[in-house]
Amino acid sequence: MEIPYTTEPREDTGLFNAKVGIWLFLASEVMLFGALFSSYILLRVGAEPGAWPHGLLNIPLGMTNTIVLIVSSITVVMAWASLKMKDFAKFKMFQSITLLCAMIFVGIKSYEYHDKFTHYEFQVKNGAVLEVHDENGGHHELQLKTDSVLDGHLLETTEDGYVVHGHVIDPQAQAAVTHAWQAREIKEDHITVKKSDVTYKENYGPWHNTYMAIYFTLTGLHALHVIGGALVIGFLWGPGAGMWKTDPERYTNRIEISGLFWHFVDLVWIFLFPVLYLL
């Protein structure tokens, strides 16, 4: 006996096996991301007042990535529809756009990650003297009157100091920011600080605070899903495409299944973007 319903749908369920399988799998994926989203809520609700950071992420980049993924979701359907209409060349074209989108997404995401790993918080001693070069070529020295936090991107580490593109945090102005979209006109300058004045420095990696932790965990897991989905789609696009000749119906089903997964991955991002970037 052979396993039935691998390609043709079963009468009473109306589905072929893999379609049942992928929907069940997606149900479990919902629970996986659901648990992480719930954790996000619990961590945020449990955070001390004012401690949850806002505006750390680049909204235009996140928006671009959202659009990129939505486009890929469309092309993935078009690719499947092309196969249904037996137009293999068109399928190839659409699916290559999908793959391109996946690459753009991962590229932008890596840039954002890199940005966080070079973004530092320096705790600077009271009385330290900072050298400030502003954009207009102006140059002055700033003496701190209290223990302060210098926040910005590390440009260069010299023998005895750090060159940072950033600003000294004003606690009052910081507390007034409660949402990411509140425009913050913070002037960022090239600031040089002596190593001996820095008591502690830490970049915005997952260890920085629970917001960064959940940001890296959620987007990292999502990025793994994007890469995994792209590998499957890429395999079916390239080396696995031979099945179109031997068993076109089954091949079309495979494209449909990988497409369902891809839609799910997009959908997760649709939730991730507002939750992490905007709220």
Partner 1 sequence: MLIMRRQPAQLTKLMSTQAATTHAPAHADAHDGHHGHAGFWTTYVFSTDHKVIGIQYGITALLFLFFGFCLMMMMRWSIAYPGKPIPIVGPLLEKVLGDVAAKGVMGPDLYNSFGAMHGTIMVFLGVVPLAFAAFGNFVVPLQIGAPDMAFPRINMASYQAYVVGGLIMLISFFIPGGAAQAGWTSYSPLATTITTNGQTFWVIGMVFLITSSLLGAVNFLATIIQLRAPGMTWMRLPFFVWAQFVTGFLLLLAFPPLEAAALMQLMDKVAGTSFFLPTGLAVVGRHISGGGSPLLWQHLFWFLGHPEVYVLILPAMGIVCEIIANNTRKPIWGYKSLVYSALTIGFLSFIVWAHHMYMTGMGTKISTFFQTTTMIISIPSVIILTCLFLSLWGGSIRFNTPMLFSLAFLPMFGIGGLTGLPLGFNFSDLHLHDTYYVIAHFHYVVAPGTIFGLFAGIYYWYPKMTGRYMSEFWGKVHFTGSFIFMNAIFQPMFAQGMAGMLRRMADGGANYAAASVPGAIGGLSHTIMYFNQTISIAAWCLGLAQIPFIINFFWSIKHGKKIESDNPWHATTLEWQTPTPPPHGNFTKTPVVHRGPYEYSVPGRDKDYTPQNEDDAVPAKPARA
3-state SS string for 2-36: CCCCCCCCCCCCCCCHHHHHHHHHHHHHHHHHHHH
Other Cβ atoms within 10 Å of 130 Cβ, number: 22
Residues 63-102 that bind partner 1 (CB under 8 A): 86
SS3 44: helix
Total binding residues for partner 1 by CB under 8 A? 49
Q: Considering only residues 117, 181, 207, 235, which one is a binding residue for partner 1 as defined by CB under 8 A?
A: 207
40: which residues sit within 8 A by CB, 6+ positions away? 214, 218, 275
Other Cβ atoms within 10 Å of 2 Cβ, number: 4
* Binding flag, residue 59, partner 1 (CB under 8 A): no
Toward partner 1, which CB reaches closer, 109 or 208? 208
* Binding flag, residue 117, partner 1 (CB under 8 A): no
Distance CA(87)–CA(80), nearest Å, equals 10
Binding mask 228-257 for partner 1 (x = CB under 8 A): -----------------xxxx---------
Segment interacting with partner 1, rule: CB under 8 A, options 42-50, 72-80, 107-115, 123-131: 42-50
Q: Where does this chain bind partner 1 (CB under 8 A)?
A: 1-5, 10, 13, 15-18, 20-21, 24-25, 27-29, 31-36, 39, 42-43, 46-48, 51, 86, 202, 205-210, 212-214, 216-217, 221, 245-248
